[in-house]
Amino acid sequence: MKIGITCYPTYGGSGVVATELGKELAGRGHQVHFISYALPFRLDGFRENIFFHEVELPDYPLFEVDLYSLSLTSKMVDVVLYDDLDILHVHYAIPHATSAWNAKQILNEQGRDIKIITTLHGTDITLIGLDPTLLPLVRFSIEKSDGVTAVSRYLREKTLTNFNLEREIEVIPNFVNTELWKRGDSEHLRKRFAPNGEPVLIHASNFRPVKRVTDVVRVFAQVRESIPVKLVMVGDGPDRAEAERLCRELGFCDDVHFLGKQSGLVELFSAADLFIMPSQSESFGLSALEAMSCGLPVLSNSVGGLSELNLHGTTGYISEIADIDRMARYAIDLLKDNRRYKRFSDAARERAVSQFSAKDIVPAYEEFYERVLAQESVSQPATSL
d(CA 294, CA 132) in angstroms, rounded, equals 41
Q: C-beta of 190: minimal distance to ligand GMT in Å? A: 27
Site string for ligand GMT, 27-66 (x = CB under 6 A): ----------------------------------------
Three-class secondary structure of residue 179 per DSSP: coil
Which residue's CB is nearer to ligand GMT, number 35 or number 114? 35
d(CA 122, CA 288) in angstroms, rounded, equals 15
Which residue's CB is nearer to ligand GMT, number 199 or number 316? 316
Which residue's CB is nearer to ligand GMT, number 215 or number 282? 282
Q: CB-based contacts of 322: which residues, under 8 Å, 6+ apart?
A: 212, 215, 278
Q: Does 14 bind ligand GMT (CB under 6 A)?
A: yes
Can you list the positions of beta strands (E) in the chain?
2-6, 31-36, 50-54, 87-91, 115-120, 147-150, 170-171, 200-204, 230-234, 256-260, 274-277, 298-301, 316-319
Q: Vertex 273, ends 317 and 357: CA angle to 5°?
A: 70
d(CA 77, CA 81) in angstroms, rounded, equals 6
Q: Does 368 bind ligand GMT (CB under 6 A)?
A: no
Q: Footprint of ligand GMT on residues 157-196 (CB under 6 A)?
A: 174
Return the range that interacts with ligand GMT (CB under 6 A); candidates 13-21, 53-61, 94-102, 231-239. Answer: 13-21
Q: Does 13 bind ligand GMT (CB under 6 A)?
A: yes
Q: Vertex 305, ends 199 and 38: CA angle to 5°?
A: 85
Q: C-beta of 77: minimal distance to ligand GMT in Å? A: 25
Site string for ligand GMT, 105-124 (x = CB under 6 A): ----------------xxx-
Q: Footprint of ligand GMT on residues 291-310 (CB under 6 A)?
A: 304
Q: Does 207 bind ligand GMT (CB under 6 A)?
A: no
* String of DSSP letters for 31-74: EEEEEESS--TT--S--TTEEEEE-PPP--TT--S--HHHHHHH
Three-class secondary structure of residue 150 per DSSP: strand
Q: C-beta of 85: minimal distance to ligand GMT in Å? A: 23
Q: Does 220 bind ligand GMT (CB under 6 A)?
A: no
Which residue's CB is nearer to ligand GMT, number 55 or number 194? 55
Contact 302, 326 (CB under 8 A): no
Q: Footprint of ligand GMT on residues 271-290 (CB under 6 A)?
A: 281-286
Query: Which residues contribute to the site for ligand GMT (CB under 6 A)?
Result: 8, 12-14, 17, 92, 121-123, 151, 174, 210, 281-286, 304
